[in-house]
Amino acid sequence: MAHKHDETKIAEQEACCDLDEKVNEAKVVSLHNKDDGHNHGDEEGNGLKPWLPAIASFVVLIAGLSLDNWIKPTPTWFTGWVRLTWYIVAYIPVGLPVVIKGIKTAIKGDVFTEFFLMSVATIGAFYIGEYPEGVAVMLFYAVGELFQDAAVNRAKRSIKALLDVRPDSADVLRNGIYVNLPPENVKVGETIQIKVGERVPLDGEMLSEGSSFNTSALTGESKPSTFTKGETVLAGMINQEKVVELKVTKLFNDSSLARILTLVQDATTRKAKTEQFIRKFARIYTPIVVFLAIGITLIPWLFVENYVFNTWLYRALIFLVISCPCALVISIPLGYFGGIGAASRSGILFKGSNYLDLMTKINQVVMDKTGTLTKAVFKVQEVESYDIPQEEWLPLAAALEAKSTHPVAKAVVEYAGNEFDKLRVDKLEEISGHGLKGDVNGKEVLAGNVKLMDMMKVPVNDGLRKIVDTIVIVAIDRKLAGYLTIADEIKEDSKQAVDALHKLNVKTTILSGDKQAVVDNVAKHLGIDNAYGDLLPENKVQKVEAIKKDKKNVVAFVGDGINDAPVLALSDVGIAMGGLGSDAAIETADVIIQTDHPSKIATAIQIGKATTKIVWQNIGLAFSVKLIVLILGAGGLATMWEAVFADVGVAMLAILNAVRIQRMKF
């Protein structure tokens, strides 16, 4: 547990550092800024405007090269100060912003940046009379930056698409009429109306009979879902069938949509170890290269007979251009950013790129049963009575169960109907892993499993102990009254999920509070490696601790309930099943599967592996090409044009490789 939280702490501290300006631009814009009118055209670099300086510089440069090389004879006026001024005019549109940035960062104490390297290299080229090359290097650098911006914006787009699901207004019932107000001004308990085609502005309970909703913004699923009276509808869903009314259950800032937006925004601040290393490496590597360039310029004076300062300065400038670490500093965060975006499109939220890395190392997936592998939609199958008639004990049990949110309790309440509405419940006590105890209309009522009856010294016959299905035993005043058997249904893709994990060489385990016989039955049906039932929340913690004792095991725990929060925190990667489920589970988890589909566990691992593979491909590409051209440049075998390829060209290739993940299908 300490290991995982130490990593998170390091990542959060790293996020607080003053990072390179380009990397900061790669972060998601504030998802809470609602005053922008959703107009992100300028920010995303759409249109021709960002390209105008580069186009102007290119036109003037081509004209200068034509006058220098292609128009014969060269015009006599295109010499001296005229020629220098011509190339300065070509340089200013693309070079001046970079030089200014270099000066500003240097004033702040961060001297060795890519802006500094490019400024020194190009101004140095002007000093030795290589005007066209000085302009060309800065022009290609600027064009590379524009392509980088486009790639970053493309990576952001899948996440920033969530901005479009933020509702701008809500129709609220006040004084008998519907008033259009910002969602932030609506209070809990008020009634709102959602017309067909409108987005739900706040979480609420359905007051109307029902309607179908498009939930893709929250779950990634295109298939509409139907919600009926009494069910919870979430902000961001789109009403597709008829006008409905909802009773608001959460303020806008507490809604599921706002929570998801916050999680996605925060995901970009938690960096993977590889990302942290590259940033630290770049800060050490860049000054070293600068001093090496100074050495390349001056040291040969001590050893070379025909030493020419400008020749060695040119080699040093080439060395500086090649050394620029932008291919690494941009493409690696972009790779992780793309991975987070690809995951969000699949209905999977990573709370940070560090968890993308951890997902690749998982070899043990431990899962809760109810709500994770099964639907948690329980139905009463059988009811048996003993000395007390069913019509007497069932309403008492239902009155007690109505105070619980557990799916089994809901099944009992649904089966009992409305016969318990007027019964008074006092001294309610929920005994975790056992059941409920309370006074109903003056009678002590127990409703739970065999363990509860044993704890309360209520005699239970062997026949009850042998029942395999989930069972709710009811006792009135410590006298056995009857029982209900309840069955849950396995999710359609649970078998697919387990098979996919086995193909990834990941072992699977079920930990459940349900009876061992029920858990064994589910495990056998799904092909799960290990199954443990009859567990209390603390027993689940003990089981995960036992698995983690083997240092080779990297454990992911998948759960959906409040009682899963301790195990989610203990695991190396905590995965909350259902972005619409328990707040406690979602807050504790590191990865959230919004679709409620267990098959997405394997998808999350595959996305993590694909992201990490692309990141290391980019690292290898950048280092190998730069090393080769650095050696050639120091030996005088490479020109500024090769240097441009080693810098901007490699950066472009790395970026194109990084954005591949956004096109992959998982």
Alpha helices in 161-253 (DSSP H): 216-219
In our burial notation (b when 16+ CB lie closer than 10 A, e otherwise), range 195-230 reads eeebbbbbbbebebebbbbbbbbbbbeeeeeebeee
Asked whether the beta carbons of 331 and 576 are under 8 A apart, the reply is: no
Asked whether the beta carbons of 369 and 489 are under 8 A apart, the reply is: no
Catalytic residue among 20, 368, 488, 560: 368
What is the residue-wise DSSP string for 79-140?
Answer: SHHHHHHHHHHHHHHHHHHHHHHHHHHHHTT--SSHHHHHHHHHHHHHHTT-HHHHHHHHHH
CA distance 504 to 498: 10
Query: CB under 8 Å to 125, separation ≥6 — which residues?
Result: 131, 133, 134, 137, 314, 317, 640
CA distance 95 to 341: 33
Nearest Cα neighbor of 472 from 527, 536, 394 is: 394
Decide if 488 is catalytic.
no
Task: Give the relative orientation of helices 273-298 and 114-127 as an angle to the nearest 10 degrees.
Answer: 20
Show the tokens assigned to 643: 């240097």
Q: What is the CA radius of gyration of the chain?
A: 32
CA distance 216 to 171: 23
CA distance 471 to 380: 9
Half-sphere exposure of 293 (CA within 13 A, CB side): 25
Show the tokens assigned to 431: 């005994």
CA distance 311 to 636: 9
Asked whether the beta carbons of 622 and 327 are under 8 A apart, the reply is: yes
Task: Give the relative orientation of helices 80-107 and 52-65 as an angle to the nearest 10 degrees.
Answer: 150
For residue 47, the one-letter residue type is G
Enumerate the active-site residues: 368
